[in-house]
Structure 1
Amino acid sequence: MAQTTRAAAGHDGPAAPPPRGFRSAELGWPELHRIPHPPHRLPLLGDVVGAGVRTPIQDSMRIAERLGPIFRRKAFGKEFVFVWGAGLAADLADESRFAKHVGLGVANLRPIAGDGLFTAYNHEPNWQLAHDILAPGFSRDAMAGYHPLMLDVARQLTTRWDERESAGRAVDVPGDMTKLTLETIARTGFGHDFGSFERTAPHPFVTAMVGTLSFAQRRNVMPPPLAPLLLRGANRRNDADMDHLNSTVDAVVAARRAADGSGAHGDLLDRMLDVAHPESGERLSAENIRRQVITFLVAGHETTSGALSFALHYLSRSPDVLTRARAEVDEVWGRDGEPAYEQVAKLRYLRRVLDESLRLWPTAPGFAREAREDTVLGGEHPMRRGAWALVLATMLHRDPAAWGEDPERFDPDRFAPSAVRARPAHVFKPFGTGARACIGRQFALHEATLVLGLLLRRYDLHADPAYRLRVAERLTLMPDGLTLRLTRRAPAA
């Protein structure tokens, strides 16, 4: 979920959407020819040899290994510059020279999310207004208020997992994490219960959400001249998915408006409906409230469910790490009772496990940055005002210059305080960077650490020895087909 840039504070950001017919020659990289691209580039088609429609991020990772810390890809007349070297990524993190760029799949979400926090262009005023109104909803006091609801949703998950464990059946990790995180953001943020754990199939909201994300991903890799023909049926389904998302959110907002209006929930929706900007007195419009609710419901659960799923995958295959993390949970929380809000942050090693999982597979796998003014990236690559590049976080998090010669190895001690201090800045970016980094990152980290601690305290995790990690891409990343078998831990002596 996105935060704001300095543009609304009086700085004119260069982030207007590119004009129709935007071509590679107008990318704003005067010396684009100096940036390597894959071999076997075809006329008109570009770098499509070996490209996969369903796995563009993982394809780009393979290309990055061959071409180095900056490279470009071209497809059907559109060319993109990718950056993953630690030094170049640190340069792009300079807020005085670069800002968020809304491009690629993010722009494809604007039909549903519009000028919501994540999809707003820098020059649009509503994101600054929304950020200033909603930021107090992620304060420490607000987070402490969400904690009991998080525990309640986690109890629904463990009830479900107890039933599966008793029946000797494996659990669908991504599916159940999606139910958990959807219910958590819906209940804490908007006072709404989707009843996800009472369903055998995903809630229709989730189905519609996955449909819109997948459609945006397909549009990224579809030849523009052929898109109307090739996506005709998908367009109709996407329209239906967007209608469902809109109608669901409208019903949630209408139910709150029909209540007593006292603001008694004190949640994000109350702030959207009742709170004016502290300086200007402006309020969010009904249309923007809808867009913000959709943004929070989608971004607030999709990425966290992926982070939890990857963490459980690595824990189940790393016995020493799991033993150490569980020992910390038992020591800090004890074997019985529910942890208090303050106890979650004390699980420092378990937090390292989560960070290391996000390093290897940041569920938001990249973010785009654009030049505020003419500049030179890394002292070598000239960029005109508005030129942009995609920071490939999955590869930035594997750069040997920052992470050593074995970056594929899962090692939570990479996030021990001494190791963090020894690393260069700006090499770990699972939540984006700068002023528009994820506004809900502390919410997500608290939720994920709490849930992992509860699960480790309650269950032994048994991986399927035949499973090999497959990563599904739908703008976000998620383990595909991950299941685990469970055994309830013996009671404390």
Structure 2
Amino acid sequence: MRNNWSGQAFPHPPGRRPVVGDLLGADPAAPLQSTMRRAEGLGPIFELKIFDQKFVFVTSAELAAELADESLFEKALSPALVALREFAGQGLFTAYNDETNWALAHDLLRPAFTRDAMRRYHPIMLAAARELFDTWDARPGPVDVSADMTRLTLETISRTAFSQDFGSFTREDPHPFIPAMIAALRAGQRKGTLASMPGSAMMARRIDRRNAHHQAYVDRLLDDLIAARRAGDDDNDDLLGIMLHSPHPETGQRLDDVNIRHQILTFLVAGHETTSGALSFALHHLSRSPAALQQAQAEVDRVLGPDPDVEPTFEQVPKLRYVRRVLDEALRLWPTAPAFGRSPRRTTTLSTGHVMRPGDWALVLLPLVHRDPAVWGDDADQFDPDRFLPGRSRGRLPHAYKPFGTGERSCIGRQFALHEAVLVLAQMLHRYDLEPDPAYELQISERLTLMPVGFELTLTPRVPGPAPAA
């Protein structure tokens, strides 16, 4: 994955050094946020050179729209995603474009995200949220928002993907699968971070040896589950059931068991980290925006009525339009999957004059694209859900908002994530008043996705207000 760009030069931050390049200005604990700071004044496209690896970043909405043209560009795997392949293999997120399992899995799983499928998942989402609220109601004091949102979304995706309950709200200690999965993921992330350093192969082998038992446990648990479902009289219509029993409608092909394991891992990781981050950022911004919080609670009171314990019906979720705008705006400011890679299908000249050849790749840096003042205005750093009102969205530059990626490799579970997030956020706002710690300043952890850390809220039972006049 060496990114040569035929020796073309791009703007870069000051302070480049021989051998290490731009490494000294990077923050290894927060590489994305340090890259955002260093991008200031460098224009719509710039580079960071770390040892002999060139990272090219796109920060303007106009140039991002060029790269979103599917006739000219396709998904590129960054070194971080290449490292993640050892965990998730040819999953939907980590497969190369020419790997046949990606297209096969994508076609097989489309029915799992239709409106009828969402209707089947709706009660499962409600049940997981109910467990979370029962835990909160029985536990006084502030709650760790990000940790609890992560437990919630992990339970939701595990139950809908392969009917597995990890007991996140009933066990004293987490199910052993969860720390093993996290450890295996972190090992892949460390290897991706080290990939451009001299001696990275030796360090990667050491990381592999230390984490082999975690990877083996994760693989064994899922392989045993798949084998048991194949051997039994399985009529479950969860994601695993679809992959086990559905042939491709045109070719008749089926996924093998190893790739089914990779797809489950992909859904587990991507399906819970992104949604929990979106909910956490939305709650952070709402807790510091009294007017937005009041408007959101007025909407949920109008749609859900006076009973704070009522559960939204499937048909009510699309009516929560302001709640959806809150989530859209939270994902604009802090897209939980903060970048995606693009590579040309054939030699292509960008509007900047740079020539891109197959094998060259650029990372679209979404937190900066989503703050481009040419699209979002001079107040692009401010939280304003009404940016997504239809009247204000009409005429906006296409591809200026891409929290779920772009093109044929964009997130297949987008509707699942949004339905769950709107449902959960609406219930929380209906049941509780939010009291933040006034001394808290937003801190963001960079793992596979972005997530607030140290963010706590004190939740007090709320009496929904009367429905406002139309």
> Is TM (by shorter chain) over 0.5?
yes
Partner SS for 1:462? strand
Structure 2 CA distance for partners of 1:491 and 1:393, relative to 1, 3 Å = closer
Q: What is the aligned partner in structure 2 of residue 313 from structure 1?
A: 284
Q: What is the aligned partner in structure 1 of residue 42 from structure 2?
A: 67
2:214 pairs with one of 238, 241, 252? 241
Q: Supply the distance in 2 between the matched residues of 1:325 and 1:357 (Cα, whole angstroms).
A: 14
Residues 449-469 of structure 1: CA distance to partner in whole angstroms, max 9, x if unpaired?
000000000000110111110
Q: What is the aligned partner in structure 2 of residue 180 from structure 1?
A: 152
Q: What is the aligned partner in structure 1 of residue 439 from structure 2?
A: 466
Contact 1:192 1:252 in 2 (8 A): no
Q: Supply the distance in 1 between the matched residues of 2:335 and 2:98 (Cα, whole angstroms).
A: 28
Note the C-alpha offset of 1:481.
1.1
Note the C-alpha offset of 1:473.
0.4
Structure 2 CA distance for partners of 1:481 and 1:234, relative to 1, 3 Å = farther
Q: What is the aligned partner in structure 2 of residue 251 from structure 1?
A: 224
Q: What is the aligned partner in structure 1 of residue 242 from structure 2?
A: 271
Q: What is the aligned partner in structure 2 of residue 300 from structure 1?
A: 271
When the two chains are superposed, the root-mean-square deviation of aligned CA atoms in Å is 1.7
Note the C-alpha offset of 1:246.
1.3
Structure 2 CA distance for partners of 1:173 and 1:89, relative to 1, 3 Å = same
Note the C-alpha offset of 1:397.
0.7
Q: What is the aligned partner in structure 1 of residue 61 from structure 2?
A: 86
Contact 1:31 1:381 in 2 (8 A): no
* 1:416 lines up with 2:401 in the alignment: no
For residues 43-62 of structure 1, the aligned pairs below 5 Å read 43-62=18-37
Stretches of structure 1 lacking an aligned partner (at least 5 in a row):
1-17
* 1:197 lines up with 2:169 in the alignment: yes
Note the C-alpha offset of 1:152.
0.5
Note the C-alpha offset of 1:31.
6.0
Partner SS for 1:109? helix
Q: What is the aligned partner in structure 1 of residue 8 from structure 2?
A: 32
Contact 1:210 1:474 in 2 (8 A): no
2:79 pairs with one of 100, 104, 112? 104
Structure 2 CA distance for partners of 1:32 and 1:204, relative to 1, 3 Å = farther
Which has the larger displacement, 367-376 or 220-229? 220-229
Q: What is the aligned partner in structure 1 of residue 408 from structure 2?
A: 435
Q: Supply the distance in 2 between the matched residues of 1:229 and 1:31 (Cα, whole angstroms).
A: 28
Q: Supply the distance in 2 between the matched residues of 1:414 and 1:368 (Cα, whole angstroms).
A: 26
Note the C-alpha offset of 1:382.
1.0
Note the C-alpha offset of 1:236.
3.1
Note the C-alpha offset of 1:377.
1.4
Partner SS for 1:303? helix
* 1:155 lines up with 2:130 in the alignment: yes
Which has the larger displacement, 445-454 or 401-410? 401-410
**One-letter code aligned to 1:248:** L
Contact 2:109 2:243 in 1 (8 A): yes
Partner SS for 1:296? helix
Residues 260-281 of structure 1: CA distance to partner in whole angstroms, max 9, x if unpaired?
12x2x21111111000000100
Note the C-alpha offset of 1:200.
3.9
1:342 pairs with one of 315, 320, 328? 315
**One-letter code aligned to 1:316:** S
* 1:328 lines up with 2:299 in the alignment: yes
Contact 2:80 2:189 in 1 (8 A): yes
Contact 1:172 1:484 in 2 (8 A): yes
Q: Supply the distance in 1 between the matched residues of 2:281 and 2:70 (Cα, whole angstroms).
A: 31
Contact 2:80 2:193 in 1 (8 A): no
Note the C-alpha offset of 1:339.
1.4
Contact 1:70 1:83 in 2 (8 A): yes
Partner SS for 2:29? coil
Contact 1:149 1:188 in 2 (8 A): yes
* 1:286 lines up with 2:257 in the alignment: yes
Q: What is the aligned partner in structure 2 of residue 377 from structure 1?
A: 350
Contact 1:177 1:305 in 2 (8 A): yes
Partner SS for 1:472? strand
Residues 75-131 of structure 1: CA distance to partner in whole angstroms, max 9, x if unpaired?
121111110111110000000000001122111110111111110001100011111
Stretches of structure 2 lacking an aligned partner (at least 5 in a row):
none
Note the C-alpha offset of 1:208.
2.8
Contact 2:72 2:344 in 1 (8 A): yes
Note the C-alpha offset of 1:257.
2.8
Contact 1:335 1:492 in 2 (8 A): yes
Note the C-alpha offset of 1:317.
1.1
Partner SS for 1:221? helix
Q: Supply the distance in 1 between the matched residues of 2:415 and 2:165 (Cα, whole angstroms).
A: 22
Q: Supply the distance in 2 between the matched residues of 1:124 and 1:231 (Cα, whole angstroms).
A: 25
2:70 pairs with one of 70, 92, 95? 95
Structure 2 CA distance for partners of 1:232 and 1:48, relative to 1, 3 Å = same
Q: TM-score, normalised by structure 1?
A: 0.90
For residues 207-222 of structure 1, the aligned pairs below 5 Å read 207-222=179-194
Partner SS for 1:79? strand
Structure 2 CA distance for partners of 1:231 and 1:388, relative to 1, 3 Å = closer
Aligned residue pairs total 463
Q: What is the aligned partner in structure 2 of residue 226 from structure 1?
A: 199
Note the C-alpha offset of 1:233.
5.5
Q: Supply the distance in 2 between the matched residues of 1:103 and 1:385 (Cα, whole angstroms).
A: 14
Partner SS for 1:82? strand
Note the C-alpha offset of 1:228.
4.9
Contact 1:306 1:478 in 2 (8 A): yes
Q: What is the aligned partner in structure 1 of residue 329 from structure 2?
A: 356
**One-letter code aligned to 1:243:** A
Contact 1:183 1:194 in 2 (8 A): yes
Q: Supply the distance in 2 between the matched residues of 1:306 and 1:64 (Cα, whole angstroms).
A: 24
